[in-house]
């Protein structure tokens, strides 16, 4: 009798265990699922896929800040998800992960080129392989808050850095307790994007396409001196990261900041006014060094990478079916638009839902030539980001002069690149 009970219990436990193991056909790990404002949209995608294919999806949330780290840790513990959402600048560092699928070999190069916008598709390519496909794309550009500009009596958006500085001073003097330009002065990855933008505005570069560190230049020193001057004149403030900047702009306490087109979604949320706040969100060109210069912006995209479920991976694998589904108009005219970003597919971009969106059109018009993030793309991008942010912070907090900070940044970056195998 006892033996019988034991056998039944063992069988029940085994069945439960196998049921748990087969709980989902694929796992989707992404940061949008961890964001309150985007979670319902991700759930909609999952429901749509499950209804269409009968396959089940296990969503795994990971915050944006922890996503890259979590993927690398999961690779070590051999618990990688079937499919993951990544930022375009992480792709080079993740490109060596075991089992990463080359979409060309599964979905076909022709199909991908027919489906996705060329510049968006290019962000997922490394060494001729299509290691990621775009979920949504765009650029990191400048956003202005119309309500704050009105309070300061500013009629036109600034075009050059001189006009920009004049406007910032007006805001400082006429809008009490405001941060005229909510520049990122904390959080290394946020500082990186803001500093890179101004580097490009001043015609400077940090690392050339061959991996040579070129940051120690007069243009870089001028760019950093410009930012230090803004800090000295209380036109920017310390202790501000991207989330702080979004809150300040959303609460009409800052006039300008840099962000991805998702800005509108964040500001709707942080203002507490929802869509009513849209009238204040003005995409604009990043002020240029002199009138007529091409406005600067930085490439930005959410990409999808997949880890092989079979060897070799096939179109019938659940994760490949999901990846293909993400390129469907049902997803691409819904998710990116809800997130206030451009879809990655050609057909979704032509869809009236996207084409008639005034904000997205304005964003695309103002940021026509997004440049590559030339720091984050290297395999030692983490260390380079830390170095850059530390030196920029040191200059902003007057611990070093801009010249000293740039020289030190150059030396430290050269050492890091040499160690990573890039000759200097």
Partner 1 sequence: MSDVTLASGRLNYPVSPHARRGGLHAVQRRVGILMLAPAAIAFAIVILYPFFQALGLSLFEDTLQSIEPTFIGLANFKAILADPETWNSFGITVIYVGGATIGTLVLGLGWALILNQPFRGRKALRALTIMPWVVPSTVSAFIWAWIFNSRFGVINGIYLELGLIDVPKAWLSTPEGALIAVILTRIWRSIPLFMAFFLAGLQNVDQEQIDAARVDGAGNWAILRDHLLPHLRPVLIVVVVLGVIGGLQDFDTIYALTGGGPVSATSVLSISVYRKAFEQWDIGMASAMGVLWVATLLPPAYFYLRLLIKKGN
Which one of 79, 233, 399, 424 is in contact with partner 1 (CB under 8 A)? 399
- Using rule CB under 8 A, residue 238 touches partner 1: yes
Main-chain dihedrals φ then ψ at residue 112, nearest 5 degrees: -65, -45
- Torsion angle in degrees (nearest 10) through CA of 28, 31, 34, 35: -130
Show the tokens assigned to 414.
């050269």
Are the C-beta atoms of 261 and 271 separated by less than 8 Å? no
Q: Which two tokens stand for residue 78?
A: 């051999």
Q: Is 60 in the site for partner 1 (CB under 8 A)?
A: no
Which residue, 69 or 114, is less far from partner 1 as judged by CB?
69
| Residue (359 or 422) nearer to partner 1, CB | 422
Query: Which part of the chain contacts partner 1 (CB under 8 A), choosing from 56-64, 148-156, 231-239, 331-339?
Result: 231-239
DSSP 103-124: HHHHT-HHHHHHHB-HHHHHTT
Query: For residues 126 and 394, which CB has a smaller minimum distance to partner 1 in the complex?
Result: 394
Q: Residue 149 — left, alpha, or beta (φ > 0 → left; ψ -120 to 50 → alpha)?
A: alpha
Part in contact with partner 1 (CB under 8 A); list of ranges 217-225, 276-284, 336-344, 380-388:
380-388
User: Which of 55, 129, 186, 414: binder of partner 1 (CB under 8 A)?
Assistant: 186
Nearer to partner 1, 49 or 256 (CB): 256
**Residue 415 CB, nearest distance to partner 1 (Å)?**
10
Q: Contact at 8 Å (CB) between 15 and 45?
A: no
Contact status: 62 vs partner 1 (CB under 8 A): no
Instruction: Identify which range of 20-28, 79-87, 267-275, 384-392 contacts partner 1 by CB under 8 A.
Output: 384-392
Residue 103 Cβ, how far from partner 1 at the closest point, in Å? 22
Among 72, 126, 147, 371, binds partner 1 (CB under 8 A): 72
Task: Tell the residue number behind the tokens 């990855």, with chain if given.
Answer: 189
Tell me which of 50, 383, 404, 411 binds partner 1, using CB under 8 A.
Answer: 383
Under rule CB under 8 A, residue 77 binds partner 1: no
Based on the shown chain and the rule CB under 8 A, indicate whether residue 382 belongs to the binding site for partner 1: yes
Under rule CB under 8 A, residue 420 binds partner 1? yes
Q: How many CB atoms lie within 10 A of CB 251?
A: 14
- Provide the token pair at 118: 């060329």
- Bridge-partner residues for 85, per DSSP? 304
- Asked if 421 touches partner 1 (CB under 8 A), the answer is yes
Residues 393, 409, 410, 417: which binds partner 1 (CB under 8 A)?
393
In order, the DSSP letters of 215-237 are: --SHHHHHHHHHHHHHHHTTSS-
DSSP 8-class letter at 150: H
Nearest to 286 by CA among 225, 366, 373, 222: 366
- Confirm or reject binding of residue 55 to partner 1 (CB under 8 A): no
Token couple for 391: 């030196």
Other beta carbons within 10 Å of 90: 21
Site map for partner 1, 104-143, x if CB under 8 A? ----------------------------------------
Q: What is the residue-wise DSSP string for 259-270?
A: E-TTHHHHHHHH
**Residue number with CB closer to partner 1 (179 or 204):** 179
d(CA 168, CA 145): 12
Task: Work out how close the CB of 387 gets to partner 1 at its nearest, in angstroms, rounded to a whole number.
Answer: 9
Size of the site for partner 1 (CB under 8 A): 27
Pairing of strands 254-259, 133-145: antiparallel
Indicate the residue among 175 and 179 with the shorter CB distance to partner 1.
179
Tell me the closest approach of the beta carbon of residue 121 to partner 1, in angstroms. 25
Q: Interface residues for partner 1 in 298-357 (CB under 8 A)?
A: none
Helix then strand then coil, % of the chain, to nearest 5: 50, 15, 35
Asked whether position 380 contacts partner 1 by CB under 8 A, the answer is yes
Provide the terminal-to-terminal Cα distance of the chain, rounded to the nearest Å: 77
Identity of the residue, 139 or 185, whose beta carbon is nearer to partner 1 in the bound complex:
185
* Interface positions with partner 1 (CB under 8 A): 69, 72, 93, 96, 177, 179, 185-188, 234, 237-239, 379-380, 382-383, 385-386, 390, 393-394, 397, 399, 420-421
């Amino acid at each position: 009798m006892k033996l019988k009970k034991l056998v039944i219990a063992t069988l029940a436990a085994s069945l439960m265990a196998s049921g748990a193991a087969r709980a989902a056909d694929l796992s989707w790990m992404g940061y949008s699922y961890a964001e309150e404002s985007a979670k319902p949209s991700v759930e909609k995608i999952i429901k749509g896929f499950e209804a269409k294919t009968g396959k089940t999806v296990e969503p795994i949330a990971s915050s944006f800040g922890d996503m890259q780290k979590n993927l690398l840790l999961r690779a070590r513990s051999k618990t990688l998800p079937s499919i993951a959402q990544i930022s375009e600048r992480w792709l080079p560092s993740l490109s060596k992960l075991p089992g990463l699928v080359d979409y060309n070999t599964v979905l076909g190069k022709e199909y991908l080129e027919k489906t996705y916008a060329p510049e968006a598709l290019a962000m997922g390519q490394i060494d001729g392989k299509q290691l990621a496909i775009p979920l949504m794309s765009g650029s990191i550009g400048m956003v202005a808050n119309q309500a704050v500009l009105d309070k300061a009596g500013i009629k036109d958006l600034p075009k050059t850095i001189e006009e920009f500085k004049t406007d910032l001073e007006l805001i400082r003097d006429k809008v009490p307790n405001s941060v005229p330009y909510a520049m990122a002065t904390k959080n290394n990855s946020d500082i990186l994007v803001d500093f890179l933008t101004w580097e490009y505005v001043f015609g400077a570069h940090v690392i050339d396409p061959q991996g040579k560190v070129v940051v120690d230049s007069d243009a870089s020193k001028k760019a950093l001196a410009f930012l230090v001057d803004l800090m000295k004149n209380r036109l920017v403030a310390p202790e501000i990261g991207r989330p702080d900047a979004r809150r300040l702009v959303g609460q009409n306490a800052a006039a300008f900041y840099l962000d991805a087109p998702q800005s509108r979604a964040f500001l709707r949320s942080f203002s507490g006014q929802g869509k009513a706040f849209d009238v204040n969100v003005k995409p604009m060109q990043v002020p240029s060094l002199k009138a007529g210069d091409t406005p600067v912006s930085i490439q930005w995209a959410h990409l999808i990478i997949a880890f092989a479920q079979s060897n070799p991976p096939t179109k019938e694998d659940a994760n490949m079916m999901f990846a293909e589904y993400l390129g469907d108009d049902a997803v691409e005219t819904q998710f990116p638009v809800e997130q206030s970003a451009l879809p990655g597919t050609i057909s979704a971009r032509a869809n009236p839902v996207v084409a008639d969106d005034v904000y997205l059109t304005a964003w695309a018009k103002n940021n026509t030539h997004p440049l590559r993030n030339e720091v984050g793309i290297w395999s030692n991008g983490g260390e380079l980001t830390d170095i850059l942010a530390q030196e920029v912070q040191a200059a902003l907090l007057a611990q070093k002069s801009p010249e000293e900070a740039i020289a030190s940044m150059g030396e430290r970056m050269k050492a890091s690149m040499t160690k990573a195998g890039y000759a200097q």
